């Protein structure tokens, strides 16, 4: 089974040289720490920065330089700042190659719900609806089941949707999956996890073709 | 040169009345017009409709207006981090419209640019699309969104000159340039106001034509919402 860092490490293997990437809050943010050697990517944060770097050293933080999670950050060589309309021009205009974000629920046709639990949590969608409506390559980083032990990978989402038919890949503590025209296909098992365990934790129908390899995490 | 300079925050905010709609720049607490917000609290202007990406925190930013119950309706994309906001929303005291962040930015830009409405794919298939016109382009459904119609834009820039030309710094830029000229009157507060002719015209982010009033803020707290650092080994 993977921990959050393991999920981030597995997603990092999906990064390709030259990608512009938008990282959501939570596990997706951790992906920046595990970019494979020899792969150059630039991280976009929708509040208006491209070329985001690590957190600043203590005492060097600048209130005017933050990411979309409102955390103080630094910028790398080649970075740029821009306004919110231009930021979403990058996103809607499909100039960002990969979007990695968290989810509360994903359905087998690639619908995603991650912004609202009616009556409980109403924080807003932020940039997630714009991102999922336009990105061609969306990876969801999430836990396979909720705190009550119920599957978050469903035949149909129960929570208000963020976007429809958009998720391409899902990485959880148990598995690496791909959303296909025919449903969710199981691609890899997390270390030490069996296909049966994954099926038992998944409400959606999983397509299982041949031997399912165990993922390799360094 | 047309002089846009006003001397005080009080003078800058003349004409803002109860029940008006305001566009307010900033992302979280970054790049917010903190002097204008403080003065709005002093003025006790109420029943406001505020368009801003976020609603501040309990004791800073727009949270200060919420505490005094000066806001009737909030139009934002993300409103976590504010307990008083949540309380007023759940009790029904505060009307809240949550919209996608890119749509919020574009509705400002459209107002600035004289485009009454536009189609976007953001929110299709979700409750955001309910009751809105849709149209297919290239096999994909888009929803029609309208430009904001606001009375005042209240924004913050890093540097400005007396002609109203603006330069922003870092991610404090965010919604501020999109809101310049997106309302009937645009008020700008800057950290440093210089004489026209001092700034290099090549470096101007927003030309003064979009600005009606500009002044230098008395002080800037620039509070950090999430101070994240690493330690030197």
pLDDT band at residue B1 under the 50/70/90 scheme: confident
pLDDT band at residue A218 under the 50/70/90 scheme: confident
- Residues of chain B with Cβ-Cβ distance to A124 below 8 Å are 76-80, 98
| Residue B187: CA count within 13 A, CB half-sphere | 30
Q: What percent of chain A has pLDDT over 70?
A: 100
Distance, C-alpha A14 to centroid of its chain: 11
Any residues with CB less than 8 A from the CB of A130 and at least 6 apart, and which? A46, A88, A91, A92, B100, B101, B102, B103, B120, B122
Query: What are the catalytic residues of A?
Result: 46
Q: What percent of chain B has pLDDT over 70?
A: 100
Q: Where are the domains of chain A?
A: 4-207
Q: How far apart are CA B225 and CA A92, in angstroms?
A: 28
Residue B87: the pLDDT is 87
Q: Kindly report the backbone phi and psi dihedral angles of residue A200, in degrees, each rounded to the nearest multiple of 5, phi listed first.
A: -65, -30
Q: How far is B69 from chain A (nearest CA, A)?
A: 20
Q: How far apart are CA A109 and CA A179, in angstroms?
A: 7
Q: What percent of chain A has pLDDT over 90?
A: 94
Q: How far apart are CA A34 and CA A10, in angstroms?
A: 9
Q: Given a cut of 90, is residue A186 above it in pLDDT?
A: yes
- Residues of chain A with Cβ-Cβ distance to B105 below 8 Å are 83-85, 87-88
Q: Where are the domains of chain B?
A: 9-117+149-216
Q: Do A92 and B176 touch (CB under 8 A)?
A: no
Q: Two tokens at B15?
A: 């004409």
Q: How far is B170 from chain A (nearest CA, A)?
A: 5
Angle at B168 between CA B167 and CA B173, to 5 degrees: 145
- Residues of chain B with Cβ-Cβ distance to A125 below 8 Å are 77-78, 98-101, 128
Q: How far apart are CA A97 and CA A100, in angstroms?
A: 10
Give the count of Cβ contacts less than 8 A between chain A and B.
181
Q: How far is B119 from chain A (nearest CA, A)?
A: 11
Q: Which residue has the tokens 């106001």?
A: B193
Q: How far is B25 from chain A (nearest CA, A)?
A: 10
Q: Are strands A138-141 and A98-102 parallel, antiparallel or unpaired?
A: parallel
Nearest CB among A59, A82, A126 relative to B173 is that of A82
Any residues with CB less than 8 A from the CB of A202 and at least 6 apart, and which? A144, A151, A153, A184
Q: What is the pLDDT of residues B135-170, one digit of tens each?
A: 999 999 999 999 999 999 999 999 999 999 999 999
Answer yes or no: are the C-beta atoms of A141 and A11 closer than 8 Å. Answer: yes
For B9-117+149-216, which CATH superfamily applies? Glutaconate Coenzyme A-transferase (3.40.1080.10)
Answer yes or no: are the C-beta atoms of A171 and A7 closer than 8 Å. Answer: yes
ipTM surpasses 0.95: yes
Answer yes or no: are the C-beta atoms of A68 and A44 closer than 8 Å. Answer: no
Any residues with CB less than 8 A from the CB of A39 and at least 6 apart, and which? A15, A16, A17
Q: What is the pLDDT of residues B18-30, one digit of tens each?
A: 999 999 999 999 9
Q: How far apart are CA B224 and CA B32, in angstroms?
A: 12
Nearest CB among B76, B120, B125 relative to A124 is that of B76
Q: Do A69 and B31 touch (CB under 8 A)?
A: no
What CA–CA distances, in Å, run from A120 to A116, A158, A196, B23, B111?
Answer: 8, 14, 33, 28, 34
Q: Do B108 and A85 touch (CB under 8 A)?
A: yes
Q: Two tokens at B139?
A: 């096999």
pLDDT band at residue B229 under the 50/70/90 scheme: very high
| Residue B75: CA count within 13 A, CB half-sphere | 20
Nearest CB among A46, A60, A64 relative to B101 is that of A46
Which sign does the torsion angle of CA B201, B205, B211, B214 carry? negative
- Residues of chain A with Cβ-Cβ distance to B223 below 8 Å are 63
Architecture of domain A4-207: 3-Layer(aba) Sandwich (3.40)
Q: Do A127 and B102 touch (CB under 8 A)?
A: yes
Answer yes or no: are the C-beta atoms of B111 and B183 closer than 8 Å. Answer: yes
């Amino acid at each position: 089974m993977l921990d959050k860092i393991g999920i981030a490490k597995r997603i990092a293997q999906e990064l390709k040289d030259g990608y512009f990437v938008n990282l959501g809050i939570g596990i997706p943010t951790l992906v920046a720490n595990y970019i494979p050697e020899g792969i150059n990517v630039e991280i976009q944060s929708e509040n208006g920065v491209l070329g985001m770097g690590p957190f600043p050293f203590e005492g060097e933080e600048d209130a005017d330089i933050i990411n979309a999670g409102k955390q103080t950050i630094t910028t790398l060589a080649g970075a740029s700042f821009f306004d919110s309309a231009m930021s979403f021009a990058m996103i809607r205009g499909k100039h960002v190659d990969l979007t990695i974000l968290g989810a509360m629920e994903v359905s087998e046709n690639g619908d995603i719900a991650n912004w609202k639990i009616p009556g409980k949590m109403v924080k807003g969608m932020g940039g997630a609806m714009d991102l999922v409506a336009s990105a061609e390559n969306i990876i969801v980083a999430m836990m396979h089941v909720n705190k009550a032990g119920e599957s978050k990978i469903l035949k149909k989402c129960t929570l208000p949707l963020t976007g429809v038919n958009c998720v391409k890949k899902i990485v959880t503590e148990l598995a690496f999956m791909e959303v296909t025209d025919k449903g969710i296909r199981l691609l890899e098992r997390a270390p030490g996890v069996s296909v049966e365990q994954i099926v038992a934790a998944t409400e959606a129908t999983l397509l299982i073709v041949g031997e399912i390899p165990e993922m390799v995490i360094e | 040169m047309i002089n846009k300079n006003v001397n005080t925050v009080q003078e800058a905010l003349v004409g803002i009345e109860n029940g008006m709609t305001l566009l307010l720049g900033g992302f979280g607490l970054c790049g917010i017009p903190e002097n204008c917000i403080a003065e709005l609290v002093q003025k006790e202007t109420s029943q406001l409709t505020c368009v801003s990406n976020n609603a501040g925190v309990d004791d800073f930013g727009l949270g200060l207006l919420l505490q005094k119950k000066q806001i009737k309706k909030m139009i934002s994309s993300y409103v976590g981090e504010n307990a008083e906001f949540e309380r007023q929303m759940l009790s029904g005291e505060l009307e809240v419209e949550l919209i996608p962040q890119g749509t919020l930015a574009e509705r400002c830009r459209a107002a600035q640019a004289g485009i009454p409405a536009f189609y976007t794919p953001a929110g299709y298939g979700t409750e955001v699309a309910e009751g809105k016109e849709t149209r297919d382009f290239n096999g994909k459904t888009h929803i029609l969104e309208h430009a904001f119609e606001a009375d005042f834009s209240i924004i913050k820039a890093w540097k400005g000159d007396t002609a109203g030309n603006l330069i922003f710094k870092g991610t404090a830029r965010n919604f501020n340039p999109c809101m310049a000229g997106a309302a009937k009157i645009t008020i700008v507060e800057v950290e440093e106001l210089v004489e026209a002719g001092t700034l290099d015209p090549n470096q101007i982010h927003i030309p003064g034509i979009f600005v009606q009033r500009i002044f230098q803020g008395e002080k800037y707290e620039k509070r950090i919402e999430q101070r994240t650092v690493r330690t030197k080994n």
